[in-house]
Structure 1
Amino acid sequence: MADISIKQKHKLSQKKAKDAAQQVADQMAEEYEMTSDWDGDVLYFRRSGVSGSLTLGEQVAHLEISLGFLLKAFAPTIEEKVTSKMKKVFSAKA
């Protein structure tokens, strides 16, 4: 079961939503040494202590994050930051 689950509505085309998600994944890879790969419309990501998926639907992006023991204490802070980032990424014009 995920420690963090966020659903963000959007009005982007599937391609634009996927492009936006990939840009964020690239930033995360650079900043946090996180790896990611796509399986259809689902982006899976992981690094030590963190794993999860971002599922892109037609009008909603659903992010689920599982945290390792040491990061669970920071779940509220992580969730707040990720929620803010998702709002910015998926509120772009279609």
Structure 2
Amino acid sequence: MGRGKIVIRRIDNSTSRQVTFSKRRNGLFKKADELSILCEAEVGLIIFSSSGRLYEFASTSHHANEVCLHDSTINAYDLPSRNIYY
């Protein structure tokens, strides 16, 4: 017996939303690391929280340095839009 489906929508409770964000962020970082190991791929991942905090993952130190350089040039007006088009 598997897990039930969940509806993907905004979580209203801010504490629950932050906990979910942290757990899913860590899950994405783990998957990115696994992808880089299994497929010998160079993987970079950048995540902005709703408060504007930046989280990044890079499979190689070379790319981590590039992310750090880019991070120093980001200001509050450069944050990504919440409107995502697929």
Sort the TM-score into its range (normalised by shorter chain): 0.3 to 0.5
Q: TM (normalized to structure 2)?
A: 0.33
- Please, what TM-score do these two structures have when normalized by structure 1? 0.31
Which structure has the bigger radius of gyration? 2
Comparing both structures, which one devotes a greater share of its residues to strand?
A: 1
RCO higher in structure (CA 8 A, sep ≥6): 1
